[in-house]
A and B are shown apart, each in its own frame.
Chain A
Amino acid sequence: MTTDPKRTDNVWILGAYMTKFGRHTDKDLMDLASESALGALDDAGVTIHDMGVLAAGSLFNSQAGVGQQLQKQIGQTGIPVYNVANACATGATAMRTVMLTIKAGEADMGIAVGVEQMGKGGLLGAGGKGDRGRKVYEPSGRYGSVMSVEGLLGTGLMPGVFAQAGMEYAYEHGGVDFEQFAKVAEKNHAHSTMNPLAHYQKQFSLDEVMSAEMMSYPNTLLMCCPNTDGSAAVVLVSEEKLRTLSKEQQRRAIKISASVLTSDPWTERAQVQPDVNTLTRNAAEQAYEQSGVDPQDLDLVELHDCFATAELIHYDNLKLCAPGEAGKFIDERGPWRDGKIPVNVSGGLISKGHPIGATGIANVFEVSTHLRGEAGDRQIEGAKVGLTHVIGLGSACAVHVLEKASV
């Protein structure tokens, strides 16, 4: 599907907000979701009564009717509500749900809210069978397994899965090593010191990153995203409606130049190790085509650095560097905030945090804030176009291209 930039079904971001990310033990899910929703509405200069659709993304609460719970706090107006769950692309999918509703003409304004309370969640991805009661080995499930295979047939824990993804890139493109992966985390921790909304704002030397507790080689503790609580929200508006709003609202509005959601095309190896590359490449390809933006024109990128190994391979997947040259890209400081294409100037998932449902909207907040010139100390000067990327295993990948433009 190609969107003609001249068509008038464009959708714009009218308001955006994210809560401080961190451990919010004194708040519940609705405190966080309400703060971001009301914040985004206020930022947009509208109210819940202007909204024609609401989408809520919260992966760990996907059966809890989070959208309706939120309405009961901030405004029950009877509009359609979608509760969205799509792995780590949950927030981005909620945003797309609102966008598509507007494109379909069912609403001219809507709000997407992502929220998650992860607490101290530990390592994600173990799954498998618990040992309860009498132990009898009987095959069950689609693989006919008789016991949990975690640690017996390799690992399915996230630090390891993404370590294997990084090492696979190293295998295919020689010359990528532990230090280059570690440089990614050095950068994101440094970037986060300028972001007051980040979970952590502490700088670490490359040596400190590399000598931190090894989780799953080559990912050390400082190369893994933390479990984080937080929420983010965006208010979207049709171009036609935006034209009726104030000059100030129009000036601050950000154009969604591309919005793409992909899943895994079939690849054989993905039967045993998630393929985070192919669907990201496909999403990026479509997003560049939809927007007409060249990757080298990007002023900033917020990509899914759940682990340092993941960020490095996405430089290549998103075409921020030449094929096979992701290691060289980080060596040359290309993704640093003063580099060729700044990546994760928010601190990224590694330091800003990764409240799963909120992540895919928080990165839109970050890029939009720079495009509006409102990012304060961490502003990328003169930013005109940015890209956001999230990927959830299973898999779901969302890429958005956002632009500062005149309506």
Chain B
Amino acid sequence: MGKQVPIVGYLAIDDGPPHLVAWEAVGSGALYFDRRNADADQGGTEFKRRKLANTGRLRSFTIVHRTVPGVPAPYVSALVDLDGGGSVKANLVNVPPDPEHVKLGMPVRMTTFVAGTDDDGTEAVAFAFEPSEA
């Protein structure tokens, strides 16, 4: 297997089981996935890394049918409220992409997959969510 890199900086793949990691603003507790200059909530400039849970609930979704070239469709785009804090957007996988099977509020858990391989053989690892109850 070649080298692997996370698709985004807030996915940790080399620190135990894959998980999401956020910047937590010291003071307000606000969570961010991007590189920060300051906390948009309270204005502080001190941050610490915080590991987020791999489980949560489906807060909202859409089933994308028409998309940009190169993206397979239909697929489910999901907003997930993570247990213990933090909200994230990702695909919902391992479920038929139809409103009969995708239910608001359903419990979900994180999973990972290889999203692509570059010309050096490096794999990009992405994350998604899947239903955690049959």
CB of B59 within 8 A of CB of A171, answer yes
User: Which chain B residues in 25-66 approach chain A with CB under 8 Å?
Assistant: 30-35, 40-41, 59-66
CB of A168 within 8 A of CB of B31, answer no
CB of A154 within 8 A of CB of B89, answer yes
CB of B8 within 8 A of CB of A151, answer no
Q: A168 contacts which of B10, B59, B72, B90 (Cβ < 8 Å)?
A: B59
CB of B30 within 8 A of CB of A268, answer yes
Q: Known: A126-B68, A151-B68. Is A164-B77 also a contact (CB below 8 A)?
A: yes
Query: Does any Cβ of B come within 8 Å of A150's Cβ?
Result: yes
CB of A150 within 8 A of CB of B68, answer yes
CB of A164 within 8 A of CB of B7, answer no
Q: A171 contacts which of B65, B105, B115 (Cβ < 8 Å)?
A: B105
Q: Known: A144-B9, A271-B87, A272-B87. Is A167-B61 also a contact (CB below 8 A)?
A: yes
CB of A134 within 8 A of CB of B124, answer no
Instruction: Give the docked Cα–Cα distance between A305 and B102 (Å).
Output: 25
Query: Does any Cβ of A come within 8 Å of B14's Cβ?
Result: no
When distances are taken between beta carbons in the complex, the residues of chain A under 8 Å from B95 are: none
**Interface of A (DSSP majority class):** loop
CB of A159 within 8 A of CB of B66, answer yes
Instruction: Give the docked Cα–Cα distance between A342 and B125 (Å).
Output: 50
CB of B62 within 8 A of CB of A150, answer no
CB of A153 within 8 A of CB of B124, answer no
- A337-361 contact mask (Cβ, 8 Å, vs B): 1 or 0: 0000000000000000000000000
Query: Does any Cβ of B come within 8 Å of A82's Cβ?
Result: no
- B71-100 contact mask (Cβ, 8 Å, vs A): 1 or 0: 111110111010000111111000000010
Q: Known: A154-B79, A154-B91. Is A145-B65 also a contact (CB below 8 A)?
A: no
Query: Does any Cβ of B come within 8 Å of A207's Cβ?
Result: no
Interface size on B, residues (CB 8 A): 52
CB of A163 within 8 A of CB of B62, answer yes
When distances are taken between beta carbons in the complex, the residues of chain B under 8 Å from A159 are: 62, 64, 66
Instruction: Give the docked Cα–Cα distance between A266 and B28 (Å).
Output: 11
Least CB distance from A189 to B in Å reads 19
Q: A271 contacts which of B32, B59, B104, B105 (Cβ < 8 Å)?
A: B32
- A373-400 contact mask (Cβ, 8 Å, vs B): 1 or 0: 0000000000000000000000000000
CB of B72 within 8 A of CB of A164, answer no
Query: Does any Cβ of A come within 8 Å of B122's Cβ?
Result: yes
CB of A217 within 8 A of CB of B99, answer yes
Least CB distance from B21 to A in Å reads 11
When distances are taken between beta carbons in the complex, the residues of chain A under 8 Å from B8 are: 143-146, 149, 153
**Partner-B contacts on A (CB < 8 A):** 123, 126, 134-137, 139, 142-147, 149-155, 157, 159-160, 163-165, 167-168, 170-171, 178, 213-219, 266, 268-269, 271-273
**Partner-A contacts on B (CB < 8 A):** 5-10, 30-35, 40-41, 59-68, 70-75, 77-79, 81, 86-91, 99, 104-105, 115-116, 118-120, 122, 124, 126-127
Q: List 25 A-B contacts (CB under 8 A).
A: A136-B122, A137-B120, A143-B9, A144-B9, A146-B5, A146-B6, A146-B124, A147-B115, A147-B116, A152-B91, A153-B127, A155-B62, A157-B68, A160-B62, A160-B64, A164-B62, A165-B60, A167-B62, A167-B104, A168-B59, A168-B79, A170-B60, A217-B63, A218-B62, A272-B79
